[in-house]
């Protein structure tokens, strides 16, 4: 057999000095450990579903930072299944409030409330019972709170029965209520087109809020 020629530039591993072989082995071990660590971290993150949270993110997106106007409280009473105090979102309407109260009761006069009207913080929504007397008394005397007509729940027909308030004026009152929310005072009627001081004086004792 002919003797094999040795490449001086690339000696076989057995020809390397022991210290050189040890250094190469250490480098290989470090590379394998780093590779294994990378795979292990990836598997752990995928199993736990952990996400990296940016600590520099603005705290304004936190739910605790929402403005106070984001919620309001409404008292729902009358012919609903679960009357009580409810928290609603800003922009909710009477229909949302009644839904939160379990919906109409079986004896509810459903056309007695304007379901499309936006609700206001602190208001009371009264759903009348079928056959309940809510209109003003014919005599017009005294106008007690119990018999006065609530401007915030009155129907078109009920408003039409007030002195000097015909169908057209009743429609204006309902349009104002739908556009501006609930009446906070009887004097708010002066903001309805066509109602002046003289007309308001004639119905002041017959209505309430």
**Phi, psi (degrees; rounded to nearest 5) at 57:** -65, 150
Burial class, 90, CB count within 10 angstroms (exposed 0-12 / middle 13-18 / buried 19+): middle
What is the per-residue pLDDT across 169-179, written as a single tens digit (0 to 9) for each?
A: 999 999 999 99
Side-chain-facing half-sphere of 131: CA atoms under 13 Å: 2
What is the per-residue pLDDT across 98-137, written as a single tens digit (0 to 9) for each?
A: 999 999 999 888 888 888 888 888 888 888 888 765 444 3
**Phi, psi (degrees; rounded to nearest 5) at 154:** -65, 140
Structure tokens belonging to residue 66:
């929402």
The answer for residues whose C-beta is within 8 angstroms of residue 127's C-beta and 6 or more apart is: 76, 77, 78, 79, 80, 98, 104, 105, 108, 109, 112, 113
Burial class, 38, CB count within 10 angstroms (exposed 0-12 / middle 13-18 / buried 19+): exposed
CA distances from residue 49 to 41, 44, 59, 103 in whole angstroms, order as listed: 12, 8, 23, 41
Report the pLDDT value the prediction gives residue 18, as an integer from 0 to 100.
Answer: 61
Strands (E), the chain: 71-78, 84-89, 124-127, 149-150, 207-208
What is the per-residue pLDDT across 4-17, written as a single tens digit (0 to 9) for each?
A: 554 555 555 555 56
């Amino acid at each position: 057999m002919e003797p094999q020629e040795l490449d001086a530039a690339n000696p076989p591993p057995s020809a390397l000095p022991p210290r050189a072989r040890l250094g190469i082995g250490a480098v290989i071990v470090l590379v394998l450990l780093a590779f294994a660590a990378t795979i292990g971290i990836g598997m752990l993150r995928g199993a736990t579903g952990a996400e990296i949270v940016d600590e520099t993110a603005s705290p304004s997106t936190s739910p605790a930072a929402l403005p106070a106007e984001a919620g309001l409280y409404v008292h729902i009473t009358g012919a609903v299944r679960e009357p009580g105090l409810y928290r609603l979102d800003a922009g909710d309407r009477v229909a949302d409030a009644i839904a939160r109260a379990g919906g109409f009761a079986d004896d509810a006069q459903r056309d007695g409330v304007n379901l499309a009207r936006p609700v206001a913080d602190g208001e009371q929504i009264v759903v009348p019972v079928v056959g309940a007397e809510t209109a003003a008394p014919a005599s017009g005397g005294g106008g007690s709170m119990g018999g006065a007509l609530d401007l915030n729940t009155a129907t078109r027909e009920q408003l039409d029965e007030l002195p000097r308030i015909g169908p057209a004026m009743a429609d204006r009152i309902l349009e104002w209520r739908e556009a501006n929310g609930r009446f906070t005072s009887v004097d708010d009627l002066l903001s309805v087109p066509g109602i002046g001081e003289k007309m308001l004086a004639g119905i002041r004792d017959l209505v309430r809020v």
